[in-house]
Amino acid sequence: MEFVRARSDAQKDLRIQQIKEIAIKQYEIHGYDKISMKSISSELDFSRSNLYKYYTSKELIFTDILCDDLLLWTDELCSRLEKEEKMSHRDLCTFIAEVTARHMRMIGLMTFLPPILSKSVDIKALMVYKDKISGKMDYFLSLLQKHIPELSLREIYLFGEYQFRYSMSSYQTMLREPIEGLMPEADELCPINFDFESSYKEYVYIILKGIIANRDENKS
């Protein structure tokens, strides 16, 4: 890929997008561990020093990719939740599962990336990414509360947290071996007979009903 010197903001944004596209391509072929700043820069046909002008590490590249994926996921969820008057609990959980199953790269990055980031990325840099997605996530949770008005905002946050925890646990179930902080190489990935969407749909529904039941029990 020919890489032309960026002179405008639009050209810089294009360059960042090209970097992320190459990182995603290598991730899907080789897995995370075999990717380096050198491998990314070589496929872009420009020096590592130029790459470092945009990202100081591959961890930050993939953090940016994860943020993009999270925003796409929330956009897809919010677009329907905004239009629907009020979904039934079953329909809501089915919808969340259907959308999440279309964003498995996001789940994979969420599963193995945080332990790496906590050891290798400055907290100030991580806060920038947190700020990037927090507004959209808060909006998504507020829409959930519109569809589940019997829950408090704290309980809605708890509902969202349990969803993420289960999705990451399920992702590991889909691999031959559990992830221990690092992503396995691509040839070690081996899907087993596990239907993520069906399992996730039932789990989300059970969790929602459990939170509601616990709330009702505390009231009595």
Task: State yes or no: pLDDT of 82 exceeds 70.
Answer: yes
Task: State yes or no: pLDDT of 80 exceeds 80.
Answer: yes
Non-local (6+) Cβ contacts of 47 within 8 A are 41
Interval 134-178: pLDDT, tens: 999 999 999 999 999 999 999 999 999 999 999 888 887 776 544
pLDDT at residue number 189: 44
Task: State yes or no: pLDDT of 88 exceeds 90.
Answer: yes
Non-local (6+) Cβ contacts of 72 within 8 A are 103, 106
Task: State yes or no: pLDDT of 205 exceeds 80.
Answer: yes
Q: Which helix (H) or strand (E) holds 98?
A: helix 89-101
Q: Among the residues of 102-152, which ranges form H helices?
A: 104-120, 123-147
C-alpha span between 95 and 148 (Å, rounded): 14
- Res. 130 pLDDT band, cuts 50 70 90: confident
Tell me the three state secondary structure of residue 85.
coil
C-alpha span between 197 and 107 (Å, rounded): 13
Tell me the three state secondary structure of residue 52.
coil
Neighbours of 95 (CB within 10 A): 19
- Res. 129 pLDDT band, cuts 50 70 90: confident
* Ordered domains of the chain (ranges, CATH): 1-55 (1.10.10), 66-219 (1.10.357.10)
Query: Average model confidence (pLDDT) for the chain?
Result: 85
- Res. 8 pLDDT band, cuts 50 70 90: confident
| pTM, rounded to two decimals | 0.84
C-alpha span between 189 and 199 (Å, rounded): 20
